[in-house]
Chain A
Amino acid sequence: MKPYQLTIADAAGKIRARELSPVELVQSALDRIEAVDGKLHAFVLVTGERALEAAQLAEKEIADGRYRGPLHGIPIGIKDLYDVAGLPTTSSSQVRQDFLAAQDSACVSRLTDAGAIIVGKTHTHEFAYGVITPTTRNPWKIDHIPGGSSGGSGAAVASGECLMGMGSDTGGSIRVPASLCGTVGLKPTYGRVSRHGVTSLCWSLDHVGPLTRDVRDAAMVLNAIAGFDPRDDATARLPVPDYTEALDEGVRGRTVGVPSNFFFDDIDPAVEEAVRTAVEQLESQGVSVREVQIPYADQMLALEYGLVVPEATSYHQAMLRERGEHYTDEVRTFLEAGELVLATSYLRVLRIRTLVKRAFREMFEDIDAIVCPTVPATAARVGQESFTFPSGAQTSVTEAYVRHSAPANLTGLPALTVPCGFDATGLPVGLQIIGRPFDEPTVLRLGHAYESATDWSSRRPDL
């Protein structure tokens, strides 16, 4: 196995034991980028020289006995919405081509303090306003999309260009690419991780989190990035546990809810089969399974767009007026539409969000988590506009992916996607685990228990 193929946990073990140097590991990732990124286009910018300098410093620190922890010397990719001091934050848009970050975003600061090494900035759907990432391709099938908006991070992690990629999730933008590219993706609870220094799409729905090769790696990254930050008013003043601590304690006695509506209404049969088999796997480990009804199912998509559209326009208002012609047509159209939404319509959405929160709390009274498909279909072909499901329903690719993601964005609940199989064409399927607020430990434990009993997360695309 080459260094770039390791998980963070495995690489960290070797680095700590001085069996692998950060320089060797970072060089391996950079070589991998050189070998495959011409096909994938996962990176906006590769910071090879800067990364190797950081790796040499890490090597020296570790040799001097100043090992910082499991992220020390680990090559990572940062979605190009996050500020990294001295580097451009283009948000994959012509509008921001000249924006140079003066300071690190909160997550970048915490990750580099923990010793992680940035090998580059990964592509996003323009300003994270979409779930396709048209710049980038899926490593499992190069003529398919990686999903988005964190599509660069999804493709990069799946293909071994870095061991972890940071993403952001407003309507599925961590979970969608993670599911489509066959990686783990964690959207933590709203308020668990600071978004300071990350270009906003929608303040009330934006979350940030990692895409990784396995669940333990996601827990390790969450350990580094979680916590209160006075610069992000949404962050919670709650203690941060060690998210790796209880991973191996099993899931016997836990109860999960499987939705009887919404998540299985319009779905590719191959996805449904993989997810239902995954639920059986958890059941075989002592998990009790109950049927649940997703409340406000018919309103989910309207609520998601009802928040995103006006909030995104508010963020972009000045740029839209000054350089609207630099946006892609798709994003510009949504931004223009947002100028026309009435304030009372926006407030109606926020009031219904209160009802949705109450209803989810009630639904969670006797379950620990919901398990369901991350998305209803595997990666669409490049240029594909819609899916036709067995029910006859035709749904746009974007709507299909956002629909399954919206409940965890609207409720702010922690949501994890874990690979749970492949369809007949070899494209990955994801299992979504949604937990109670700030109960990432249970979500991660369920994901780790499932992952450990299967080999899906260890499979790699043949590029």
Chain B
Amino acid sequence: MRPPLGDDAFDQLLTYARLDLTAERKQGAAGGFAAVLALLDSLESVELGETPPATAFDASWE
């Protein structure tokens, strides 16, 4: 599991993502981010091997 973000690190992350939030909004964003991160982290146990992503670029013009 990844280590939790401290307040300063979270502030830096928000700045890096160009999110200029009020203190109140920061709290909401932190909660939302934590929930999404927990979901994404739950996928780390899936073995992927050579599996490609479920996307394909279509080079045709028609």
Q: Is A248 an interface residue (CB 8 A)?
A: no
Q: Is A339 an interface residue (CB 8 A)?
A: yes
| A341 partner residues in chain B, CB cutoff 8 A | 36, 40
Interface residues of A in 333-357 (CB under 8 A from B): 333-334, 336-341, 345, 347-355, 357
9-residue interface stretch from A3-11, A65-73, A105-113, A295-303: A295-303
Q: Please count the residue pairs between chain A and chain B whose beta carbons lie under 8 angstroms apart in the complex.
A: 88
Residue in contact with B39 in the complex, picked from A296, A301, A351, CB distance below 8 Å: A301
Interface 0/1 of B34-60, CB less than 8 Å to A? 011001101110101001111100100
Task: Output the nearest chain A residue to B42 by Cβ-Cβ distance.
Answer: A302
Instruction: Please tell me the number of chain B residues within 8 Å of chain A, measured between CB atoms.
Output: 28
| Nearest CB of chain A from residue B41's CB, rounded to whole Å | 9
| B52 partner residues in chain A, CB cutoff 8 A | 351, 354
Q: Is A461 an interface residue (CB 8 A)?
A: no
| A321 partner residues in chain B, CB cutoff 8 A | 18
Are A348 and B43 in contact, CB atoms less than 8 angstroms apart? yes
CA gap between A354 and B50 in the complex, in Å: 11
**Interface residue range, chain A:** 20 to 34
CA gap between A369 and B19 in the complex, in Å: 45
Task: Output the nearest chain A residue to B27 by Cβ-Cβ distance.
Answer: A333
CA gap between A329 and B51 in the complex, in Å: 37
| A357 partner residues in chain B, CB cutoff 8 A | 54
Are B54 and A350 in contact, CB atoms less than 8 angstroms apart? yes
Q: Is A306 an interface residue (CB 8 A)?
A: yes
Interface residues of B in 7-24 (CB under 8 A from A): 13-14, 17-19, 21
Residue in contact with A302 in the complex, picked from B21, B39, B51, B58, CB distance below 8 Å: B39
Q: Using a CB–CB distance below 8 Å, which chain A residues touch chain B? A: 204, 230, 233, 296, 298-299, 301-303, 305-306, 309, 321, 329, 332-334, 336-341, 345, 347-355, 357
Q: Using a CB–CB distance below 8 Å, which chain B residues touch chain A? A: 13-14, 17-19, 21, 25, 28-29, 31-33, 35-36, 39-40, 42-44, 46, 48, 51-55, 58, 62
Enumerate 8 A-B pairs (CB-CB under 8 Å) in ascending A order.
A233-B58, A334-B32, A336-B19, A337-B33, A339-B18, A339-B19, A340-B14, A348-B46
List 11 additional A-B contacts (Cβ < 8 Å) besides A334-B32, A340-B29, A349-B40.
A305-B39, A306-B36, A332-B25, A336-B21, A337-B36, A345-B40, A348-B40, A348-B46, A351-B48, A352-B43, A355-B48
